[in-house]
Amino acid sequence: MISKPKFKICKRLGAGVYDKCQTSKFVTAPKGKKGARPKALSEFGSQLIEKQKIRFSYGISERQLSNYVENAMKTKGQGTADKLYERLEARLDNVVYRMGLANSRAFARQMVSHGHFVVNGHKVTIPSYETKIGDAISIREGSKGKKLFEGLTERLKEYNAPKWVAFSPEKAEGKVLDKPKNTETFLDINAVLEFYSR
């Protein structure tokens, strides 16, 4: 897991990187030197920033991202950018986050690592585990009484999950219903692919 000062990263890459940066505290934080004109980025520089956005957003290492890109580029019959996005979104820690069970991907990653979830009846402790359409993800029986799942039903009432995942608090089980569609305007995946195709 990547652990660096989050506000500092958000100032460089944009508020969309972390949920923590989408607060009024971040918006009202003092900016850099007044009157200083930002330098115009080169094409390489802007691609590098897009790559870093993805890395920090999903909490993955450089090697993991390059592996995802390499696998996406090998895939035939589908857009490479769509395939890369699907692979990133299909990570178990991200699915747990998208279902609304954690308030950040970093927390979802920790929950998965601690063995709180079961995928198709098997306990999984690998955050990068790739889920597929039809996979049933449930809270492990021994974890249901844990404090981190207290008030889950109330929390989920206020949460709008993406259409490709669903979670039932009554059954403590969710499902991957479809492939994720890229609706993120914050991430430029094509720029990342160009960065790696140099």
Mean pLDDT of 47-51: 90
Query: Helix 43-58 crosses helix 6-13 at what angle (to 10 degrees)?
Result: 140
The full set of domains in the chain, from first to last, is 6-23+41-87+185-196 (1.10.1050.10), 95-176 (3.10.290.10)
Contacts of 73 (CB under 8 A, 6+ apart): 80, 193, 196, 197
3-state helix, strand, coil split of the chain in percent (to 5) is 45, 10, 45
% the chain with pLDDT above 90:
60
In 36-188, which ranges are continuous DSSP H helix?
Answer: 43-58, 62-74, 80-89, 92-98, 105-113, 152-157
pLDDT at 1 exceeding the cut of 50? no
Alpha carbon distance 78, 183 (integer Å): 17
Q: pLDDT tens, 139-175?
A: 999 999 999 899 999 999 989 999 999 999 999 999 9
Res 112 pLDDT > 50? yes
pTM of the complete model beyond 0.95: no
Alpha carbon distances (Å) from 92 to 74, 131, 137, 139, 150: 22, 6, 9, 13, 21
List, for residues 4-19, the tens digit of each pLDDT value. 566 566 666 665 666 6
Q: What is the pLDDT of residue 46?
A: 87
Tokens standing for residue 152: 């889950």
Residue 196 phi, psi (nearest 5): -80, -15
Q: Predicted confidence band at 197 (pLDDT cuts at 50, 70, 90)?
A: confident
* 109 neighbors 1 (Cβ within 8 angstroms): yes
143: left (phi over 0), alpha (psi -120 to 50) or beta: alpha
